[in-house]
Amino acid sequence: MSTEPPIIDGSSADAQNANNNGSFSQTKQSVKSGGTRKSLPSPLTSAKNNSAADSRNMRRIIAEDPNWSLATVPLLTELCVKHIVDNFAEHPKLNELLPKYKDKVLEKISTNLPLSVVSHLVCDEGYWQRRCKATWNVCDVSKYQHNWKRMFFERHIEYIIEHFVPETTEETQLNNTLPLASPYIWKLDLKQLLPPVKEEPNKIPDDVSDVGSESGLDTPSMDHFEFSTVFDKLPHLQEFSITYGVRDCGMNFEWNLFMFTNRDCLLLSKCIKKCRTLKVFKLHRSKVDDDKTRVLIAHILDHPSLSELDLSHNMIADSGARAIGKFINGRCKLTKLNLSNNKIRANGAAAIGHALSKNTTLKLLDMKLNRIGDDGGQAICQTLTKNTTLENLNLGSNELSEPTAAVLAQIVIHNTTLKYIDLSCNRLGPVSIVNLDSTP
């Protein structure tokens, strides 16, 4: 039984070719089938009858993120670094990393991390620089030997102490911070100390004079922060500067905010005595009088390392100056002594001058803004014939006149170590100036 080949419709074949090849022919094709010849229609007309060929009915895929690209997928190492940074406070990992990944972590960790996490672990100066600049607007790292980590911890401890209110502020923060900061603290510069908060005294009637209030005698004693616990935990402390007073008190000004009490003086003197590493001690603008000066000097007479003492802008008179003279006449190692802006007169200057004749370490003596007069000035100048170490002497604003200048003009001829003398703001007269100027 024979079968004939099927008859292929011309229009269907032409549409199939159009869909598979994507090209259209303008010539007519004919297919022979069973002795018949049929013509194929145009693709343009066949597209109307084929819905699949209509571009308007084709499916389109729209991505949810048009900016997504395979190239932006982070590397596994970057994901690991991000995970370490995000969880650094709970699980600090730094020394276990390779150097290149360690640097990336240090660049990205937060500057608000707890000090208990980063104090001993992070030594990178770049991190501590970021943290300092995030904490303070002005950062002069040159005052800290260009060490950002030291700068942060010293200023952080200073801030805690300067805002500590005795009998009110909890000591928890300070006690927790000192062990973390102690290896990096070499200097403390305290510009204020707050007194304890006391109840307001009874108001004084309007018809009573306010002299008593200004003297500060009508209020209870206001002892300040005690440094014994701090000094015991700072084994590297070499410089300590302090002012007993309150900054920016404004309309809340009271005289008792600037009182340096006897108990303050005694406790501070004991701390200075115990701190054997201390080289520079500055106690200025704190109303230090003769009695407190004697207490202080009595505790530091045999200090092994103190080389600079600054008691400027206080209330030291002759009795206190005699105590200081005893100090520099002993076994001290002072090279700088600043007594400017006090109340030292001729007798006190004579005591200091007598000590200078035996001293072999002092190189700088600053006594400007005192009241030593010609008697005190001549007493100091005459000791320069025996002293062979003093290089810098400042006697400005001391009510000096021609007699002192005449003695000094003779002394400097024989003294070969003195390099700088300041006699500004005195009444030397033109003759004295000529004599000094002509001295070889």
What are the pLDDT digits (tens) for 232-269? 999 999 999 999 999 988 888 888 788 899 999 999 99
Residue 331 confidence (pLDDT) above 50:
yes
Residue 16 confidence (pLDDT) above 70:
no
Please compute, for residue 392, the number of CA atoms within 13 A of its CA located in the half-sphere on the CB side: 9
Q: State how beta strands 187-190 and 239-242 pair.
A: parallel
Mean pLDDT computed over 346-371? 96
Name the band, by pLDDT with cuts 50, 70 and 90, for residue 411.
Answer: confident
Residue whose token pair is 């699980």: 91
Q: State how beta strands 239-242 and 280-283 pair.
A: parallel
Q: How far apart are the first and last CA of the chain?
A: 147
Mean pLDDT computed over 389-418? 91
pLDDT at 5: 46
The least confident of 73-82, 416-425, 429-438 is 429-438
What is the residue-averaged pLDDT of the chain? 84
Residue whose token pair is 């300041």: 422
Residue 209 confidence (pLDDT) above 50:
no
The least confident of 60-69, 102-111, 360-369, 392-401 is 60-69
Any idea how long the chain is? 440
Cβ atoms of residues 184 and 156 within 8 Å: no
Model confidence pLDDT, tens digit, residues 23-69: 444 444 444 444 445 555 555 555 556 655 555 555 555 567 777 66
Residue whose token pair is 């010849």: 37
Residue predicted with more confidence, 440 or 8? 440
Model confidence pLDDT, tens digit, residues 146-162: 999 999 999 999 999 99
Cβ atoms of residues 196 and 169 within 8 Å: no
Nearest to 105 by CA among 83, 138, 90, 135: 83
Residue 92 confidence (pLDDT) above 70:
yes
Name the band, by pLDDT with cuts 50, 70 and 90, for residue 213.
Answer: very low
Burial status of residue 241 (CB atoms within 10 A of its CB: 0-12, 13-18, 19 or more): middle
How many Å separate Cα 419 from the centre of its chain? 35
Model confidence pLDDT, tens digit, residues 374-386: 999 999 999 998 9
Nearest to 92 by CA among 125, 72, 116: 116
Cβ burial 373-390 (10 Å sphere, 16+ → b, else e): bbebbbbbbbbbeebeeb
DSSP alpha helices (H): ranges in 275-345?
Answer: 290-300, 318-328
